[in-house]
Structure 1
């Protein structure tokens, strides 16, 4: 949204690609949020709505309002450009937590290679776009995006064949009729409380 605002300040001639691409991006992200809010649990839904209101309405609205008081158009463009650059750096730094999880768990389950590759390619293209137009508010943050994208792909290649540590297997054989299945070991493995009454019970937790 902020980059879209930045493109509008540049004007349709200089900011056409920024306006069109970020308009599509806003629409797609809005669709993602709607789908997430439909299927998210109650507490998560409320928390997400608070974040959306805080950042998309509160922070963005405050930035739009405060920068509107900047007199000259060129100064307003520079102020918004710096703000966009800072938020872009935050976006590119966000995957650090995922990279830390990959190193800790030795699993790339939540860091698909295709996403890292496309983000890296996008950062490269936007870097050269900003560089060729001498728009360093666009070019500079994408240097960081390129570096983090390369780091993610390297991590993926390192850990793609690593297997997550499996939970121990528990088997309870030949339980007496109408007896309750002991669940202590099962609870330790899956964190749930469950009992069942069956004849000749065989319980396997993998």
Structure 2
């Protein structure tokens, strides 16, 4: 148990909680892949979220391996699990994806591997000791900030349609909870590279919770009206008129299961 030794009990508590919550988030796409395996088809799902999640987990794994603190073990565990889960998702996707989607996924994986190796080599030859930790830390912060900014397109869609139908409450809740736990972990550990990007995660999580509170009741009213309406649903026409790529992804994910959330650690 020496690997869990830490001078700050709160670091251990929030690190363990962060591991538990993050693994729940990593497991969110399981229903999606059960459906894919059952139907032996990816049905238009895209592999980008899973590849990005894998790349993010790999970078944080490298960052954690550079840390000297024993409490960094908690970063190692969660991102090791994340790498394993995302690898399984991608393997299943490649098994059932059509040729064009499979080739695109393999290309993304090649870019993923090339980018990761480049970061490893550059950080190894351009920086030493604490400078290397800082360099890799800032790269992880930049990637995490981009990942946390991704829900902006969904938030914009929710405000536009005044509906949270395509913003799953459970996923939003666990993503926010994960951001809160890792934010506190980073603060107690005094690791700004971990805490910094999770500030964005908490902000976007609170915003999504607020949208649920505002528009959830309206969705119930609309659902009741649609029961008595035999006309063609308005949703399909709204979907066709939207040019936002992320919007289409979330439309598909709502109907068939959640997309993979990128690693937020």
Q: Give me the TM-score of the superposition, normalised by structure 1.
A: 0.73
CA apart distance, 1:62: 0.9
Please state if 1:120 is matched with 2:185.
no
What residue is the counterpart of 2:88 in the other structure? 31
Give the 3 Å change call, closer, same or farther, for CA 158–65 of structure 1 in structure 2: same
Give the 3 Å change call, closer, same or farther, for CA 111–57 of structure 1 in structure 2: same
Alignment of 1:90-105 (within 5 A): 90-105=146-161
CA apart distance, 1:59: 1.3
- Structure with greater contact order relative to length (CA < 8 Å, sep ≥ 6): 2
What residue is the counterpart of 2:102 in the other structure? 45
1:16 to 73, 87, 94: 73
What residue is the counterpart of 2:209 in the other structure? 153
Give the 3 Å change call, closer, same or farther, for CA 149–14 of structure 1 in structure 2: same
What residue is the counterpart of 2:115 in the other structure? 59
1:135 to 172, 191, 195: 191
Residue segments in structure 2 that go unaligned for 5+ positions in a row: 1-57, 241-265
Query: 1:42 & 1:108 partners in 2: Cα distance?
Result: 34
2:134 to 78, 81, 85: 78
CA apart distance, 1:109: 3.4
Give the 3 Å change call, closer, same or farther, for CA 10–145 of structure 1 in structure 2: same
What whole-Å deviation, never above 9, does each CA across 1:116-135 have from its counterpart, x for those lacking one?
11111111111111111110
What whole-Å deviation, never above 9, does each CA across 1:172-198 have from its counterpart, x for those lacking one?
xxxxxxxxxxxxxxxx9xx9xxxxxxx
What whole-Å deviation, never above 9, does each CA across 1:67-112 have from its counterpart, x for those lacking one?
1103421110010011011111111111112222222333433321
Q: Which has the greater radius of gyration?
A: 1
Give the 3 Å change call, closer, same or farther, for CA 137–41 of structure 1 in structure 2: same
Please state if 1:2 is matched with 2:54.
no
Q: Give me the TM-score of the superposition, normalised by structure 2.
A: 0.58
After superposing the two structures, state which structure 1 stretch, 44-53 or 116-125, moved more: 44-53
Query: 2:98 & 2:124 partners in 1: Cα distance?
Result: 39
Q: Which has the higher helix share?
A: 2
Query: 2:138 & 2:183 partners in 1: Cα distance?
Result: 16
CA apart distance, 1:50: 2.0
CA apart distance, 1:58: 1.8
Residue segments in structure 1 that go unaligned for 5+ positions in a row: 170-187, 192-206
Query: 1:39 & 1:156 partners in 2: Cα distance?
Result: 34
